[in-house]
Amino acid sequence: MQTNQSAATAQTTANLIAELQSFGIRLADPKAGAASRRGGAGPSDHKAVTIDGVTVMVPIHTASAFDSPYSASAPAADGTCEVRRDGAAMGRISFPPQPRFYGLSTADGVPYSKIATLHGRDVLATTILQTCIRYQSRTKTCQFCAIGQSLAAGRTIAHKTPGQLAEVARAAVELDGVKHMVMTTGTPNATDRGAGVLCDSAAAVKAAVPLPIQGQCEPPDDDVWFTRMREAGIDSLGMHLEVVTPDLRARIMPGKASVPIERYMTAFEAAVPVFGRGQVSTYILAGLGDTREALLDISGRLVALGVYPFIVPFVPISGTPLEDHPSPSPEFMASVLGPLAQMLRDGGLSAEKVKAGCAKCGACSALSTFEKLAGEKLAAERETA
């Protein structure tokens, strides 16, 4: 989006991203650009939107989006849309185009889009196992998760084989210039917790194309898996806390909370020497009840270990127990992301340095924009010193 001010500052962009990710946006043409995501693992019900050159994921299928003060017109001849807030013109946005690899299918007729999808602008993402031991019962499932929805709707397949992933990854790089890949998985067992299937998949992709890969799983029961994943071709690792207050974890994600925060911390300590500082990250959902202080306290501990805490606003997904839970306000997100960005800079960590994955993509949060703000502040202080 080009704002109505003559020069859009990083602060303006950061604030706007925070507002759009909190409120969502109503689109006159929801089919414009790359297809939106509905259901599935991780944040969903979003669409990729480019604002001032920054591509972010903005809710369009949620209840809050239907009532959002933000709306966008149908695309003009140049592909951009006018954005209005409560009727007042705010500027223009655009959308990444539909990837060309979506038009292809495997030899046995599986569309590539059911094997992996485009996230943000240049990230290939897949959920290798679209089933999870945590999803089998509402007494165990993470209440924000919709991993089974896209499978039930026929938008994906239950198990993506290493060969299928390698085939799609090669096409995505060659046809659409994809720069890195995210491999996540439903948790298949209480031992390696998905690390084994990540190893097999990453090795196949790396044999086909030199694409940086982030693997995502719960902490495995044995730290030897970190070395195995690294040797298989995984460049960065995500082990996602999602919620950081113990009683909230037990209530919102009762199955996953059986792996305590203490195990995550020891796993982080073991994984950072294998992958490197800043190449291990954790995804944290703001707005589910963790206080600002709790989020920043654990972020400080993580940064000290060399772990990148990627904090994103919670977005409710239709059909889940938390579908009516509100997203955090833009003001709350700014109160967390501003200090976190400074914390990251002081700790020598940054989204730009991450080799692959959610933190590098940054589309689900305004954090990378706040990082840029922290850098500009430091540069200004040095000039005046």
Tell me the pLDDT tens digit for each residue of 77-121: 888 999 999 988 888 889 888 999 999 999 889 999 999 999 888
CB-CB contact of 95 with 49 (8 Å): yes
Is pTM beyond 0.75? Reply is yes
pLDDT at 70: 93
pLDDT at 240 over 50: yes
pLDDT at 29: 87
pLDDT at 7 over 50: no
pLDDT at 43: 61
Opening angle at CA 84, ends 81 and 86, nearest 5: 155
Opening angle at CA 70, ends 352 and 120, nearest 5: 30
DSSP secondary structure letter of residue 48: E
Residue 369, burial from CB neighbour count under 10 angstroms (0-12, 13-18, 19+): buried
SS3 7: coil
pLDDT grade for 4, boundaries at 50, 70 and 90: very low
CB-CB contact of 51 with 93 (8 Å): yes
pLDDT at 9: 58
pLDDT grade for 170, boundaries at 50, 70 and 90: very high
Rg (CA), the chain: 20
Tokens 């209840």 belong to which residue? Answer: 63
pLDDT grade for 380, boundaries at 50, 70 and 90: low
Tell me the pLDDT tens digit for each residue of 25-69: 999 888 887 777 666 555 667 888 898 888 888 888 877 888 899
Identify the bridge partners of residue 92 per DSSP, sorted by sequence position.
82
DSSP secondary structure letter of residue 289: S
| Mean pLDDT computed over 155-180 | 96
Neighbours of 312 (CB within 10 A): 25
CA distance 20 to 191: 39
| Mean pLDDT computed over 131-158 | 83
pLDDT at 40: 58
> Whole-number mean pLDDT of the chain?
90
CA distance 37 to 68: 18
Nearest to 37 by CA among 208, 155, 186: 155
Q: Which two tokens stand for residue 296?
A: 């920043």
CA distance 299 to 311: 9
DSSP secondary structure letter of residue 347: T
DSSP secondary structure letter of residue 45: S
